A = this chain, B = another copy of it.
């Protein structure tokens, strides 16, 4: 899990909690039926909107995108150039023992394909297809999460309206108005919180991740094909550096000389 996600989550939840706790009885903010209505309603609308398997797959996609540690492009290039050096010196089969080092599943698979002597076109085909389906999954995930970020405040408002109608319909004792309205407003608060601390940032993260992973995977394909064709490590390095910005290029320190 990258540090921004942790910091963001802790800061977001923490700040709201502190604000809630400050100067008063925080128990009024804990209202299970309201939470159930907002989360449940959001889930219900999402299930009406998307097939069950798509909604379930989103959980997985998000989990992967957040927990899975992204390898930085510079580390990736260094590793691929390292592989190229090994393959050049000891032959491509020598990568067998290094494939395990690849912290990245896609890289591992790519290396394995190269070791197995798969034809370059086929390697490219297999890996490109996998990228395309990865993109599909992420796009689906974004649209599901964005839908949740839209339904969540809507059910917050629905809950508040239900609460207001109940309260207004039975005002005998005006002194109860305050408490009734407080409870009614809670669902709107929950709806806004879930949307802005959970669903919308997650959708955004998925979009950012997609482009990041896309870049990494393209670097890997280019690198593996270059290694397989027997390119000199320096050539591999040149080819891969074309994918990253000049600033990142300078950060790459190949363990040479």
Contacts and interface: CB of A to CB of B under 8 A. Distances in A.
A81 interface: no
Contacts of A200: 45, 49
B29 A165 contact: yes
A37 B189 CA distance: 14
A193 interface: yes
A52 to B, nearest CB: 4
B133 A204 contact: no
B133 A8 contact: no
Contacts of A3: 52
Interface residues of A, number: 84
Nearest to A171: B178
Nearest to A49: B204
A49 B198 CA distance: 10
Q: From DSSP, what is the main secondary structure of chain A's interface residues?
A: helix
A20 B165 CA distance: 10
Interface string A15-47: 110111011110011000100110011011111
10 contacts: A5-B47, A8-B47, A9-B48, A11-B41, A12-B48, A48-B201, A50-B205, A51-B212, A129-B246, A165-B185
Interface of A: 2-5, 7-9, 11-12, 15-16, 18-20, 22-25, 28-29, 33, 36-37, 40-41, 43-52, 54-55, 70, 129-130, 133, 136, 147, 151, 154-155, 157-159, 161-162, 164-171, 175, 177-179, 181-182, 185-186, 188-189, 192-193, 195-197, 200-202, 204-205, 208, 212, 245-247
